[in-house]
Amino acid sequence: MNAGTQELLRVYGQMHLCRTFQNKLADLRKQGLLNAHPYLEVGEEAITFGTCLGLKDTDIIHPYYRGEGAILRLRGGVTVREQMAWWLGRVGEDGTYRMVLPSQWMDVEHGIIGRTDSCLGSEVDVAVGAALAMKLQNLPHVVLTMVGEGATNKGNFHEGLTFSSTLNLPLIMVIRCNEWAMSMPKNETVPIENLSDMSASYGIPAAIVDGNDFLAVRDQVRLAAEEVRATSKPYIIEAKSYRLSPHSSNDEDNYRSDTEKKQWAEKDPLIILADKLRNTGVSEAALIEERAASEQEIESAYQWAITRPVASVSEMLAAQSAVVSKMWGR
Amino acid sequence: MAMRKINTRQALNEALREEMQRDNKVYFIGEDIGVYHNGNGPTGVSTGLLAEFGKSRVVETPICEGTLAGSSVGAAMFGMRPVVEIMHSEFLVHCFSYLAYGGSKGAVLFQDKPFPIVFRTPNGGENSGATFQDENVEAWFSHTPGLKVVMPTTPYDAKGLLKAAIRDDYPVLFLEHKALYKQTGEVPEEEYIVPIGEANVRREGKSATVLATGNMVRKAMEAAGNLAGRGIELEIIDLRTLVPLDKETILQSVRKTGRVIICHEGRKTGGYGAEVAAMIAEEAFSYLKAPVARISAPDVPGNFPPGVEELMAAVERICRS
């Protein structure tokens, strides 16, 4: 197995881990063991992995709110144990408890911007600011952020792209077209077929990519990043995919047909990636081994996390109060 | 210190220039802040900045108040120190989440790393009846943990406080009263800083304490002059910083006079004066000789700033009781 195939097999394992983690969370939520609703991205993992691994390590990413922190794991800052502990309301490795969902953690050292506002669209403005900081400091890094097709309706999206294009900022805007904005279908919320057509309004390039194909997404992001570095203009990538999971674990998911879901399930990004690996000569046994290792990692993370001390409300409050006191100089 | 007389605009311009010279991470961003009004910008504080620092430090943007404010949150995370100009404080509502969440929750989520942003904007208005653009937004933003809210009233304070705001490692909302831009005052030639969080006793007196903000400080000083002949000696405190509030300076005065009149141009219901009055009730109730009075704008959409007469009437009423 050559290095490229080995790397791809590792991605497959991580993507399967991401899937297993989500399924585990959905299951734990049903048992009433989680302290929040996970926002699942089953079926959309290739976009998360392709965007993250298409960038250079020095580039910056403002992740999507779905994905259970896969990008934090891929970039090396955070472990699955740490994230599992958070979901169970328990303290992590260092004994502290973070304030928001793992998909939204701030990790600027690893080039990851956390959410500061849960209203969708705000990530655009914040990512634009990071891109502005790159330009003003003459740094060669690009900034990538993602919105669903639903959030392309936000004023932030249009302001942010207009602002970035007129000021020549190194921004890659990935539109995760997953067909559903909570319970609203794309044809009722978006007035055009291809969202990438909006690029004409900002005078910037755009591309459409199969969002279920990890390699296609990764290669398109690489291409876009080089173009953005060369031209200092933002770039839109529309990744067409489908959310197989409910919006969150607080969603009965009874607004769409099983037939539709079944059709998309056949194009599952894990199936596509497994097929590619088989075509390069990877054995079925190797795939099975990779999946088993991921499942084992999730299970042992759960076993570790469930024994961690429960996060203390008074400690959480004290941590926030300390920051506010510092901000106010008190 | 060698003093000279300059107006508030010039004072703010000097603060910006000095801080941009001092630290190349400071950049000035806003709408029409480059060449408009012969290079003075919409608020008149941009003079000479574009020529001196160029487009990489004086960033003019399209009409995008949301992104203008939101981008500062992202830029501050990556080493920059944005100074954002919002053309009218009325427009700040379109940036609300970036002050209330980006600037507060964002800073908390960023743990204790520096997160410096200054939002400066003209606030209030001089004439009664304006429905647009003369908004008083201080109360809306005073409900945000960690965010500082600063309101200078003299050229001296405007310069010293803006320099302090730009050097501050956390978000500051800097509200410049429109009626004060042309006011002149003594400002030192030498460099100085006015610390955020300190009120200023502008006039000492024993009859009653007037706690004022923005242009109301000027009106309170006028009222004090008029009332001095009638045996009423007002103590006037310019709050200068609303959040965090300098409680000690206020309480010290309340304990001395036992009579309090709070004056601001914002509306009464949920206005910042309610916070000050409640704080006094909590911490100095036994010193009060009369109910706390609030002079503020009526609860209507337009701007109707209270006048000197209204303030004098309230003082006389409070001092009689």
B114 vs A: CB within 8 A: no
Residue A171's pLDDT band (cuts 50, 70, 90): very high
pLDDT of amino acid A136: 97
Arithmetic mean of pLDDT over chain B: 95
Nearest by CB to B109, which of A99, A122, A133?
A99
Q: Which of A65, A105, A116 would you mutate first to test chain B, the one with the most B CBs within 10 A?
A: A116
Does residue B112 carry a pLDDT above 80? no
Nearest CA in chain B to A161: B67
Read off the pLDDT of residues B127-179 as tens digits, 9 standing for 90 and up: 888 888 889 999 999 999 999 999 999 999 999 999 999 999 999 999 999 99
What is the least distance, in Å, from the CA of B77 to any CA of chain A?
7
A108 DSSP 8-state letter:
G
Residue B109's pLDDT band (cuts 50, 70, 90): confident
Sign of CA dihedral A92, A96, A102, A106: negative
pLDDT, mean of residues B113-129: 92
pLDDT, mean of residues A236-248: 96
Which class for A310: exposed (0-12), middle (13-18), buried (19 or more C-beta within 10 A)?
Answer: exposed
Backbone angles phi, psi at B135, to 5 degrees: -95, 150
Q: Which of residues 149-178 of B touch A (CB under 8 A)?
A: 170-171
Q: Which two tokens stand for residue B83?
A: 């100074």
A135-158 burial, b if ≥16 CB within 10 A, otherwise e? bbeeeebbbbbbbbbbbbbbebbb
Does residue B103 carry a pLDDT above 80? no
As a whole number of angstroms, the distance between CA A113 and CA A122 comes to 12
Which residue type does B318 have? I
Which residues of chain A have a Cβ shorter than 8 Å from any chain B Cβ?
A: 60, 62, 99-100, 106, 108, 113-114, 116-117, 119, 122, 124-137, 143, 155-156, 159-160, 162-163, 166-167, 320, 322-324, 326-330
Nearest CA in chain A to B63: A159
Q: SS3 for B298?
A: coil
Residue A99's pLDDT band (cuts 50, 70, 90): confident
As a whole number of angstroms, the distance between CA B18 and CA B163 comes to 8
Which residue type does B245 have? L
Which residues of chain B make contact with A141, given a CB cutoff of 8 A? none
Which residue type does A82 have? E
User: Hey, how many other C-beta atoms are within 10 angstroms of the C-beta on B251?
Assistant: 16
Q: SS3 for B231?
A: coil
Q: Which of residues 48-77 of B touch A (CB under 8 A)?
A: 56-57, 59, 61-62, 64, 66-77
Dihedral, CA of residue B247, residue B251, residue B252 and residue B257, to nearest 10: 150
Distances (CA, A) of B306 to A75, A262, B200, B310: 57, 67, 22, 6
What is the least distance, in Å, from the CA of A36 to any CA of chain B?
18
Are residues B78 and A130, on separate chains, in Cβ contact within 8 Å?
Answer: yes
What is the least distance, in Å, from the CA of A77 to any CA of chain B?
15
Among the listed residues B11, B7, B32, the one whose alpha carbon sits nearest the alpha carbon of residue B179: B7
For every residue of A55-71, DSSP letters joined together read S-TTSEEE--S-STTHH
pLDDT of amino acid B133: 86
Residue B107's pLDDT band (cuts 50, 70, 90): confident
> To which residue do tokens 């894990």 refer?
A270
Sign of CA dihedral B273, B277, B278, B284: positive
Distances (CA, A) of B151 to A115, B175, B176, B214: 30, 5, 6, 6
Interior angle at CA A174, CA A168 and CA A180, nearest 5: 140
For every residue of A111-179, DSSP letters joined together read TBPPPS-SSTTHHHHHHHHHHHHHHHTT----EEEEEETGGGGSHHHHHHHHHHHHTT--EEEEEEE-S
Q: Give kind and range of the element (H or E) at residue B263.
A: strand B260-267
Q: Which of residues 245-274 of B touch A (CB under 8 A)?
A: none
pLDDT of amino acid B21: 98
Are residues B110 and A106, on separate chains, in Cβ contact within 8 Å?
Answer: yes
A299 DSSP 8-state letter:
H
Read off the pLDDT of residues B70-92 as tens digits, 9 standing for 90 and up: 999 999 999 999 999 999 999 99
User: Hey, how many other C-beta atoms are within 10 angstroms of the C-beta on B315?
Assistant: 26
As a whole number of angstroms, the distance between CA A64 and CA A58 comes to 19
Q: Are B266 and B187 in contact (CB under 8 A)?
A: no
As a whole number of angstroms, the distance between CA A328 and CA A321 comes to 10
Among the listed residues B265, B293, B314, the one whose alpha carbon sits nearest the alpha carbon of residue B136: B265
What is the least distance, in Å, from the CA of A16 to any CA of chain B?
29
Are residues B66 and A326, on separate chains, in Cβ contact within 8 Å?
Answer: no
Q: Are B83 and B27 in contact (CB under 8 A)?
A: yes
More confident residue, A320 or A203: A203
Among the listed residues B183, B150, B127, the one whose alpha carbon sits nearest the alpha carbon of residue B303: B127
Among the listed residues B153, B188, B201, the one whose alpha carbon sits nearest the alpha carbon of residue B174: B153
Percent of chain B whose pLDDT exceeds 70: 100
pLDDT of amino acid B53: 98
Nearest CA in chain B to A316: B108
Q: Which two tokens stand for residue A246?
A: 């409910």
Read off the pLDDT of residues B261-291 as tens digits, 9 standing for 90 and up: 999 999 999 999 999 999 999 999 999 999 9
Are residues A128 and B67, on separate chains, in Cβ contact within 8 Å?
Answer: yes
Q: Of A31-35, A270-274, B1-5, B314-318, which has the strongest mean pLDDT?
A: A270-274
Among the listed residues A221, A177, A180, the one whose alpha carbon sits nearest the alpha carbon of residue A71: A221
pLDDT of amino acid B38: 92
Q: SS3 for B186?
A: strand
Interior angle at CA A176, CA A171 and CA A179, nearest 5: 155
Q: Are strands B234-238 and B208-212 parallel, antiparallel or unpaired?
A: parallel
Q: SS3 for B184?
A: strand
Q: Are strands B184-188 and B148-150 parallel, antiparallel or unpaired?
A: unpaired
As a whole number of angstroms, the distance between CA A306 and CA A10 comes to 27
Percent of chain B whose pLDDT exceeds 90: 90
pLDDT of amino acid A96: 87
Which residues of chain B make contact with A316, given a CB cutoff of 8 A? none
